[in-house]
């Protein structure tokens, strides 16, 4: 059976607030210095997107390629990880199509950075800005995210088989 031309993947990630520095989402610094507890810069949106891309191609997840114990992972820019993953995707003869990222937080203000986030992701993915959707929602005060203990993100990615 021939491999399908289009494949879809889904990813999810969550991290607690804590530590130093600004919260980074989709490679863009938010006006929020509550920090994220993570080995990397804790960009949940990019981590979810990475898992969506790897899932679309069927080649594992973030943890397959990057290990928290690796000293090189300390404070690493997650956009750098995304670029490495895109090489893996290309090596399997796929390229990204459209992506849809949803950031789930009770209080992080995403709206002011919405267009910058789309532009940064589009550039990294090599797609039009119109192919990148970044959405934000809350859990209506319910659960850990609703209690503002941290932030989560989900992402869907379509990949096309390269000719
Ligand atoms: Zn993560």
pLDDT digit string, tens, across residues 45-82: 999 999 999 999 999 999 999 998 888 888 899 999 99
Strands 94-104 and 132-137: parallel
Question: What b/e readout covers 62-71, taking b as 16+ CB neighbours within 10 angstroms?
Answer: beeebeeeee
Q: How many CB atoms lie within 10 A of CB 97?
A: 16
Tell me the pTM. 0.96
Could you give the C-alpha distances from 63 to 98, 104, 136, in angstroms and in order? 23, 22, 25
pLDDT at 124: 98
140 alpha carbon – ligand 1 mean position (Å): 23
> What pLDDT is attached to residue 72?
87
Distance between Cα 24 and ligand 1 center (Å) = 11
How many angstroms does the Cα of residue 6 sit away from the middle of ligand 1? 26
Residues 6+ apart with CB under 8 A from 71: none
- Cα dihedral 101, 75, 87, 98 in deg (nearest 10): 10
Give distance in angstroms: CA of 44 to centre of ligand 1. Answer: 5
Number of helices followed by number of strands (H, E) in the chain:
5, 6
SS3 category, 60: coil
pLDDT profile of the chain (163 residues), mean per 10: 84 94 96 92 97 98 92 92 98 97 97 96 98 97 97 98 84
Q: How far is the CA of 92 from the centre of ligand 1 (A)?
A: 24
Q: What integer pLDDT is reported at residue 90 of this predicted model?
A: 97
pLDDT score, position 1 = 62
State the distance from the centre of ligand 1 to the C-alpha of 88, rounded, in angstroms: 19
User: How far is ligand 1, taken at its centre, from the CA of residue 78, in Å?
Assistant: 9
pLDDT for residue 108: 96
Tell me, what's the pLDDT at 162?
Answer: 84
Q: Are 48 and 66 in contact (CB under 8 A)?
A: no
10 Å Cβ neighbour count for 132?
Answer: 23
pLDDT of residue 71: 87
| Helix residue ranges per DSSP H, the chain | 44-57, 62-65, 78-91, 114-125, 143-146
**Residue 46 CA, ligand 1 centroid: distance in Å:** 8
């Amino acid at each position: 059976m021939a491999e399908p031309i289009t494949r879809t993947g889904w990813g999810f990630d969550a991290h607690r607030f804590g530590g130093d520095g600004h919260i980074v989402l989709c490679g863009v610094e938010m006006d929020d210095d509550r920090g994220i507890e993570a080995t990397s810069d804790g960009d949940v949106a990019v981590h979810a997107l990475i898992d969506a891309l790897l899932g679309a191609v069927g080649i594992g997840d973030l943890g397959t390629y990057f290990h928290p114990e690796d000293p090189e992972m300390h404070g690493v820019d997650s956009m750098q990880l995304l670029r490495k993953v895109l090489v893996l995707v290309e090596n399997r003869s796929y390229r990204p199509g459209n992506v849809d990222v949803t950031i789930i937080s009770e209080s992080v203000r995403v709206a002011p950075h919405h267009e910058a986030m789309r532009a940064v992701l589009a550039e990294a993915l090599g797609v039009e800005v119109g192919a990148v959707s970044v959405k934000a929602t809350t859990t209506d005060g319910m659960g850990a995210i609703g209690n503002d203990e941290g932030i989560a993100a989900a992402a869907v990615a379509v990949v096309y088989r390269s000719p």
